[in-house]
Amino acid sequence: MNIISSKDNEIIKNIRKLKEKKYRDLENSYIIEGIKLIKEAIEENAVIKQIVMCEEFSDEEIDKDTMFEIARHNLIYVTKSVFNIITDVKTPQGIIAVVEKKKNEDASYKEDIIIALDDIQDPGNLGTILRTADSANLKQIIVSKNTVDVYNPKVVRSTMGAIFRINIVEADNLKEELENAKTHGYKIMVTTLDAKKNIYNADYSKTVIVIGNEANGVSKEIKDIADEKVIIPMLGKTESLNASVAGSIMIYEYVRRKLNK
């Protein structure tokens, strides 16, 4: 078994570059890390370009079928010191894969609700929203141009595999994308502190729910085209919620209604 031991190896240098967005865009690829994510990538038929395994990686807990699938891909082994310069976590499991990005498809207008993100900045928030949407069996999310990169390693990890199942529509102009949704019969719903109606009294049918930026909320230009403005009622002194918490509450109010039907 040939083991790469040099950090100057071209494969290793190219993988390291994928930690930066400009190289992820250039190579149309991103990094996933850990056996669970790699197993999900295989199951969801993601295009895996490379798998890197640390020489000290223990495969005792991996079932034989998964190990067979891993071996079928472009698998290389590296020393621990080399692996440590490409990993993005403090306690790595010892296995990384380079995955090709999915094609940025146009939005589909077949679902009851669509989630749109207006300049979400925190990777953890974005990943959690994707994971929550996946748990509700939503198939797509629209993200504004200035939302944190969907393929940021922290986002990818926090999706827990949802990134392979959701169509992520990257909108160059979110306002125009939402106006296009209106032509397909959707109304635009935004959360705002000055709303008179709460989310439990709102109509969720054929709706694009917009989740706003952590610091500033939904932008004025998006509020101006909104058909419905709602507030998440709070009984305590806290005036606002974390973006991923707000998004999860909105999504699960939709789930509650769907189950009650």
Q: What is the pLDDT of residue 67?
A: 85
In a domain, 27, yes or no: yes
Residues 126 and 170 in one domain: yes
pLDDT digits (tens, 9 = 90+) for 180-190: 999 999 999 99
- C-alpha torsion angle, residues 134, 65, 89, 91 (rounded to 10): 130
In a domain, 108, yes or no: no
Residues 118 and 226 in one domain: yes
Residues 210 and 120 in one domain: yes
Beta strand 197-198 with 140-144: parallel, antiparallel or unpaired? unpaired
Which portions of the chain are predicted below pLDDT 50? Answer: none
Residues 81 and 120 in one domain: no
Residues 123 and 252 in one domain: yes
Rounded to two decimals, the pTM is 0.90
In a domain, 107, yes or no: no
Where in the sequence is the domain holding 220, given as residue range(s)?
113-260
Residue that terminates a domain, selected from 69, 100, 131: 100
pLDDT digits (tens, 9 = 90+) for 194-207: 888 999 999 999 99
Residues 160 and 246 in one domain: yes
- Find the CATH number of the domain harbouring 78: 3.30.1330.30
Residues 223 and 127 in one domain: yes
Overall number of domains in the chain: 2
Residue that terminates a domain, selected from 100, 135, 156: 100
Q: What is the pLDDT of residue 77?
A: 94
Residue that terminates a domain, selected from 66, 100, 134: 100
Residues 64 and 185 in one domain: no
